[in-house]
């Protein structure tokens, strides 16, 4: 993983509540055994027509959408299926952050493990941001993870919450598995004292 650095970007607004992971990446694209090519399939059924041609009016097919590294979505983004293909597709397209008023639990966890920052802001700020975008589609925001600050188009900023451990992993560009594997002694100790009255698979 690359280190997550501060950046300024245009926004791609998709102001719909409850965008589920089946929309982000439809299930028929999950037959792959790799991560390659998912960016082209992002929001496939919203983005392409029946013949597979890009719909010219869909934001992510337009140059201004292509320039955006931040997706501005409605409430409860990423609900539904646990597929990590969703953050893989979003990051491969070029997104580095998603702003919403809330995220589904599994998606949020998956996003953080792929250096895609889920930014939760209050509903009032979200409304203002949508209004600012409507007034000026080229407006930009600045994302500063270290300070947990989102600087809005009119210059003010909002602080956003993030799990401190996930934040450190993203800033340092390391994944969690390295940390978990360093706990090997604790895991072995737990396994020794684990009073499992249940049958394990090997005992059956």
Partner 1 sequence: MAKTIIQKVWDRHVVAENPGAPALLYIDLHLVHEVTSPQAFSGLRERGLKVRRPDLTFGTTDHSIPTHDRSLPIVDKVAETQITQFEKNCRDFGIPYYGPHSAKQGIVHIIGPEQGLTQPGMTVVCGDSHTATHGAFGALAFGIGTSQVEHVLASQCLLQTPSKSYEVRVDGKLKDGVGAKDIILNLISRIGIGGGTGCVFEYTGSAIRALSMEERMTICNMSIEGGARAGMIAPDDTTYQYLSGRQYAPKAADWDRAVAEWRTLPSDEGAKYDKRIDIDASTLEPMITFGTNPGMGIPITAAVPDPASVQDPVERDTLGKALRYMDLPSGKPLLGHPINVVFIGSCTNSRISDLCAAAELLKGRRVNPKVRVMVVPGSQQIKQQAQAEGLDRIFKEAGADWREAGCSMCIAMNGDQLQPGEYSVSTSNRNFEGRQGKGGRTFLASPLTAAASAITGVVTDVRTLLG
Residues near partner 1, by CB under 8 A: 15-18, 20, 22-23, 26-28, 30-35, 45, 50, 74-76, 79-84, 87, 102-106, 109-110, 113-114, 163-165, 168, 175-177, 179-181, 183-184, 186-187, 190-191, 194, 196-202, 204
Choice between 8 and 172, CB closer to partner 1: 172
Distance CA 183, CA 36 (A): 32
Choice between 69 and 115, CB closer to partner 1: 115
Choice between 67 and 125, CB closer to partner 1: 125
Closest distance of CB 8 from partner 1, Å: 26
Q: What are the phi and psi torsion angles at 10 (to 5°)?
A: -70, 165
Choice between 28 and 56, CB closer to partner 1: 28
Beta pairing partners, 21: none
User: DSSP labels for 45-114?
Assistant: HHHB-TTSPBPTTSGGGSHHHHH--EEEE-SSBTBS---THHHHHHHHHT--EEEES-B-HHHHHHHHTT
CB contact at 8 A, 137 and 130:
no
Closest distance of CB 171 from partner 1, Å: 13
Q: What is the CA radius of gyration of the chain?
A: 19
Closest distance of CB 68 from partner 1, Å: 19
């Amino acid at each position: 993983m690359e280190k997550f650095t501060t950046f300024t970007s245009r926004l791609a607004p998709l102001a719909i509540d409850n965008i589920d992971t089946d929309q982000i990446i439809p299930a028929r694209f999950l037959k792959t055994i790799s991560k390659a090519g998912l960016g082209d399939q992002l929001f496939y059924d919203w983005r392409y027509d029946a013949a597979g041609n890009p719909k010219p009016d869909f934001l992510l097919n337009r140059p201004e959408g292509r320039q955006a590294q931040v997706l501005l979505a409605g409430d409860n983004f990423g609900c539904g299926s646990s597929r990590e293909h969703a953050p893989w597709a979003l990051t491969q397209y070029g997104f580095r952050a998603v702003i919403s008023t809330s995220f589904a639990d599994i998606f949020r966890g998956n996003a953080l493990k792929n250096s895609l920052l889920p930014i939760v802001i209050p509903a009032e700020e979200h409304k203002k941001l949508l209004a600012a975008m409507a007034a000026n589609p080229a407006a930009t925001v600045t994302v500063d993870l270290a300070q947990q600050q989102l600087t809005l188009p009119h210059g003010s900023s909002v602080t956003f919450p993030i799990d401190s451990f996930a934040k450190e992993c993203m800033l340092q560009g390391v994944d969690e598995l390295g940390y978990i594997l360093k706990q090997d002694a604790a895991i072995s100790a737990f396994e020794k004292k684990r009073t499992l009255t249940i049958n394990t698979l090997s005992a059956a």
